[in-house]
Structure formats: structure tokens, C-alpha cells
Amino acid sequence: MQEPRAPNAAELVQSLEEYTKSQHAPDQLVQLLRPPRLALRSTPDFRTEYGSHSAFWPALAAVWKVEAARLANDEQASVPAVLALAAFLLSLCMQAPQNQIQAVDHVEPHLRTALFAASSLTNLQDPAYADMTRTCCQALANLVASNETTASRFADRLQLEEQTLLIQRLLATPDHGTMQALLIFLLNSIHGSRERALLLGTSKPGAAILDRLMMLISVLFEDENPESMSTGEYTSEVFGLSFSLVQQLIHLGALAQAYEEHALMPGYSISATLVVLLKFLDGHLSLPGQATSLSSVALVPFLLRQLAHLSSSLIDEGAQRARNAADAATFQGIVLVLHCLCSIGLALEQEREEADADAEEEARNSMNGGIEAVARLLHFSQTLLPPPSARPAPPPSPHATPSTADAPVDPPTTPSAADIAAASALSPESIAAIAQLQRTAVQYLGIVTFLPPFSASSAAKSRVEEAQRRVKENGGLEVLLGLCQIDERNPTMREHALFAIRNVLKNNQANQNYVEAMKPQYKVGNNGELLDLPPPKRNE
């Protein structure tokens, strides 16, 4: 069956006006809009013809008003009509900036009315509304796609959001296509504008939207991992779009303010929303070239403030009260902040053709400000675990003397994770978390005290000497030396600690003398007397 001919602009306006006056059944509107909607897909010139007709937009707005009012009155028969209107609007505004502007002026208020009706908890759960709600959200996103004029009204939309909570209501949808359209709308709205990004992150309605979204991400997408962010292979497009939204906040310099102005519950140093933001930041910094972008380097002071705040909350405030679940989130936040700092610190040591030398040098100097907090965290982490178990003695040599060979020797055993957890009264997950904190903290100390080979810069040498001094003064040398023994709970810790000690001692005679003075000169006998060390261990 051949499709009816598409009406010209005048004919379409006449049909729309007649429909508005006669209040026909909604299914008639579906049939009325089908030919022009198909024509818009096959013949883009119709967008200009329809959009430039003086009477077209008022006529279309009048129809939208009628159907949105029907939907608001719970007339479910109007759902197909609104779906047809949204699909028609979507095609009409596709890559048509002037049509987008006209649609925002004439149609968007009625589109929002329809979405408000669709976003009730009952309707969101009703499959009959799903396609209509999704298409309406796609039309809303298309109104601000690649159009600075329509996107610039984001502040007005947020004022409406404060009154209606429309976006927050729609985020409760079980339909991922609807949520995907909402995220595209937010991305299109803030794209390229630091002012609008700050509105999303710091204004009351914008921050509420961001908080709701991050909470959903933390609950719905636990299966996603850092590797997926570094490769771009997500199990859900919604997760990928959320990551892109946070990346926009980073690139536009709005993440730090959005994070620091987030409202926290009393007694909490971090929330689930902030943990997700840090996870996204960590994933962003793991991407090639991102850790040394100007927007990322500028985050170093912010990250150091969070490190000081979170470590103080965990160590100082935690000592004054009973430990609770909030400390677990704080612990996780500390590890994420350290990961971010390590990513930037490592990237700063790589040679690049294009770089802002002043910004990078300022970031390197700022990194020294975290040494005290990191040293305290290392000391604190050692109080959470008992000392590592001594490794078993090696089996006797086959050429041993009879008196030695006859002595019973237990076979060497390696304690399992369950044995270690039982001995320390901690779960294997807790032990793994503490081990991760120790590794990341030691990596940080190794990075800030690292002097690149053949570096002739006096500023770099002064910075490293300052870092070495701070590590020693804050007790970092002692704890690093203590981590050099083999620990089955943290197998790679020894190598990280040795690298950090190497950097802390290199070209620093004061630190070398300090370590030399800690070498044992005697051993204590069973009755308490001091005995000379065996000749190979004596300090010559």
C-alpha cells in the first residue's frame, strides 16, 4: 500500500488547526502526522518548508497543548498521539538550528507538561507509557543538540527543575533508553560551557540531579570496573554516558567545585555520590594523555585537600568514636584519591612535546604537600594488621651434621588468606583493602621523591630534596623500612617499599646517615644481656 502524499506547509497547518478546533480522537492525530513525519526522514527540505511557515509553530504548539492536557488528566488514549507528536518534533528539529529555536519557544513548555504526567511513579512503571516517555526525552535532548542558543537556556530549565523536579522524577525510570536520552540532554546542555557545567554541579537543582544520577550508578552498575572505563567497553550505555558527563565536568574545570559543595550528612566525610565521582575521575586519569591535561593537573590541590580531610576523618575523628560503616567509605575514598594523585604524578615525569611547564612544575611542587598525610596513613595502616608471620625455616641440608639432621623440622607452609584473616580478626576483603592502601601510599612516596635521570634542573633537585626531608621528618623512613620484609598478605609490597627507599635515600647523605644509625649493633640474650652480633653482621 502506497503512503499518502506528504502535505505542504499550508496544508499541514490547516489540518493541525482543524484538529485543535474539533477535538478529534487522538488516533486521528497519529494518522495525520504519519505522512509529514515520513517525508521529513526522506526529504530534509521539508524541515525548512514547515519551519519557515509563519503559522506552523503556533498551530503545532496548540496541538501539543491539547494532547499534553489530556495526558495530564490521565487520558491514556492520548499516549499514541503524544508519541506521534514527539517523533514528528524529533525529525523536524534534526540538524535544523532555526527549528530548534522555534520549538523551544513554542513547544517545549507543553513537551515538559507531557513528561511531567509521564513521570509519575505509576506511569513510569506502566509499559504503555515507555515508548512515549523515551521519545519525548529524545525530542527534549534534540532541542539543545549542537545549538548554543537553545542550550544557553539551561539556567531557566534548572529554575523550572527546582519547582517540578522533572529530571529527578524521570531518572527513576526503569527504561534505560529514557535514562540514556536524559543523559544526552544534560551533556548537550553543558557542552563547552564552564558556566553551565558549574550550574549542574553547584546549583541546588543541578546538584540534586547529579546526586541522584551518581546514586543510581553506584547501585545499578556495580559490575562495571576501572578497566571498562580505560577501554570504553561498558556493559551499559547509561554507564558510559554518565562517565562522559563527569568527564565534561573535569574538562570544563567544574568537578572540584561540584565535589566540594556537595552536601554531606552530619558525621560523614564522604558520600556514595562522591565515591562514584572519584571512581570516574580515577578512570578518566587512566586514559592516555588525560593525566597531564591542564584540567587534570589543576586538580592536584583539590585532591590534596581531600586527602588531608579524609585521612584526618579516618585517623583523628575515628579515634574518638566507635568505628562504623562510614569509615569503610572514607577508606575507599582515600585509596581513590591516592590513585588519582599517583596517576598525575607518574604522567608528570613523562616527556611530551606539548606541555605547560609552569602548570606542571606547580603541580609537582604541590604534591609534596601530601607527604605528611600519607606518612600518617602508613603508620595508621600498620596498627590495623598484626605483624607479618615469620617465614618458616628452610629444610635441613642433606650434608648437615647428625645432631642437626636428627632434629625434627616442620615443613615450610604458606598461610592461606583465611588463616591470615582468622589470625588478625579481619575479613580477607578488609586485609586486601589495607594492603591496597599501603601499596598506593608507598607508590605516592616513591613518586614524589623520584628524580628523573640526567635531570639538570636545580628546581627539580630542590623539590626532591624537600620531599626526602619531609618523608624523614614525618617518620616515613621507619615505616618504609618496616614494609621491606616479605608479607604474604601483600606480596608486592616489598618491591614498592624498596623503590621508595631508594628514591628517599638517593643523593641525600642526611637520610643515608639516619638509616645507618638504625642498624643494630648488639643482640639481646635470653637473660637480657647484650651480646655481640655474629662477625658477618657487625658494623665495621
Q: Round to whole Å and give the CA distance between 186 and 164.
A: 17
Query: Hey, what's the cell of 114?
Result: 507531557
Confidence (pLDDT) at 318: 65
| pLDDT exceeds cutoff 70 at 299 | yes
- In a domain, residue 373? The reply is yes
For residue 471, which of 333, 404, 374, 402 has the smallest C-alpha distance?
A: 374
| pLDDT exceeds cutoff 50 at 77 | yes
Confidence (pLDDT) at 361: 87
HSE (side-chain half, CA atoms, 13 Å) at 153: 16
Angle formed at CA 338 by CA 281 and CA 199, multiple of 5 degrees: 35
Query: Hey, what's the cell of 220?
Result: 545499578
Phi, psi of 531 (to 5 degrees): -115, 150
507-520: average pLDDT: 87
- In a domain, residue 236? The reply is no
Question: 523 pairs with which residues across the strands?
Answer: 531
pLDDT tens profile 372-381: 999 999 999 9
Q: Quick one: what percent of the chain has pLDDT higher than 90?
A: 65
Q: How confident is the model at residue 41 (pLDDT cuts 50, 70, 90)?
A: confident
Mean pLDDT check: name the lowest of 268-272, 324-328, 491-495: 324-328
Residue 96, phi-psi category: left (phi > 0), alpha (psi -120 to 50), beta (remainder): beta
Q: How confident is the model at residue 518 (pLDDT cuts 50, 70, 90)?
A: confident
Task: Give Cα 111 to chain centroid, integer Å.
Answer: 32
What is the model's pTM? 0.87
Q: How far apart are the first and last CA of the chain?
A: 102
Q: Round to whole Å and give the CA distance between 252 and 371.
A: 29
Angle formed at CA 346 by CA 340 and CA 348, multiple of 5 degrees: 100
- Dump the DSSP string for 491-514: TTHHHHHHHHHHHHHTT-HHHHHH
- In a domain, residue 165? The reply is no
pLDDT tens profile 277-293: 999 999 999 998 899 89
Q: How confident is the model at residue 404 (pLDDT cuts 50, 70, 90)?
A: very low
| pLDDT exceeds cutoff 90 at 44 | no
- In a domain, residue 219? The reply is no
- In a domain, residue 60? The reply is yes
Identify the sign of the CA torsion 511, 512, 513, 517: positive
CB 161 within 8 A of CB 209: yes
For 348, the domain range is: 323-387+423-540
Q: Round to whole Å and give the CA distance between 496 and 4.
A: 74
Phi, psi of 522 (to 5 degrees): -140, 170
Q: Round to whole Å and give the CA distance between 442 and 449.
A: 11
| pLDDT exceeds cutoff 50 at 410 | no
| pLDDT exceeds cutoff 70 at 399 | no
| pLDDT exceeds cutoff 60 at 205 | yes
List CB contacts of 156: < 8 A, sequence separation 6 or more. none
370-392: average pLDDT: 84
Question: For 314, which DSSP code?
Answer: I
Q: How confident is the model at residue 25 (pLDDT cuts 50, 70, 90)?
A: confident
| pLDDT exceeds cutoff 50 at 354 | yes
Confidence (pLDDT) at 488: 80
Confidence (pLDDT) at 356: 74
Q: Examine the fold and report which residue of 129, 152, 175 is the final residue of a domain before the chain moves on.
A: 152
Q: Mean pLDDT for the chain? A: 87
304-320: average pLDDT: 88
Residue that is written with C-alpha cell 601483600 in the block: 490
User: Residue 505 CB: number of other CB atoms within 10 A?
Assistant: 20
447-465: average pLDDT: 86
pLDDT tens profile 86-105: 999 999 999 999 999 999 99
397-418: average pLDDT: 48
Q: Examine the fold and report which residue of 122, 137, 152 is the final residue of a domain before the chain moves on.
A: 152
Confidence (pLDDT) at 69: 95
441-445: average pLDDT: 96
Query: Hey, what's the cell of 308?
Result: 588531608
Mean pLDDT check: name the lowest of 108-122, 232-246, 249-263: 232-246
Confidence (pLDDT) at 292: 87
Q: How confident is the model at residue 455 (pLDDT cuts 50, 70, 90)?
A: low
Confidence (pLDDT) at 407: 44
Mean pLDDT check: name the lowest of 164-168, 186-190, 398-402: 398-402
Residue 408, phi-psi category: left (phi > 0), alpha (psi -120 to 50), beta (remainder): beta
430-435: average pLDDT: 88
433-461: average pLDDT: 88
Confidence (pLDDT) at 232: 67
Confidence (pLDDT) at 509: 94
In 381-521, the DSSP E strands lie at none
- In a domain, residue 303? The reply is no
Confidence (pLDDT) at 350: 76
CB 112 within 8 A of CB 169: no
Q: Round to whole Å and give the CA distance between 107 and 84.
A: 14
Containing 66, the helix (H) or strand (E) segment is helix 56-72
Query: Hey, what's the cell of 498?
Result: 624498596
Confidence (pLDDT) at 459: 87
Q: Examine the fold and report which residue of 152, 172, 197 is the final residue of a domain before the chain moves on.
A: 152
- In a domain, residue 499? The reply is yes
In the chain, how many domains are there? 2
| pLDDT exceeds cutoff 80 at 227 | no
Confidence (pLDDT) at 112: 97
9-13: average pLDDT: 95
Confidence (pLDDT) at 184: 97
List CB contacts of 369: < 8 A, sequence separation 6 or more. 304
For residue 134, which of 176, 92, 191 has the smallest C-alpha distance?
A: 176
421 against 199, higher pLDDT: 199
Confidence (pLDDT) at 409: 44
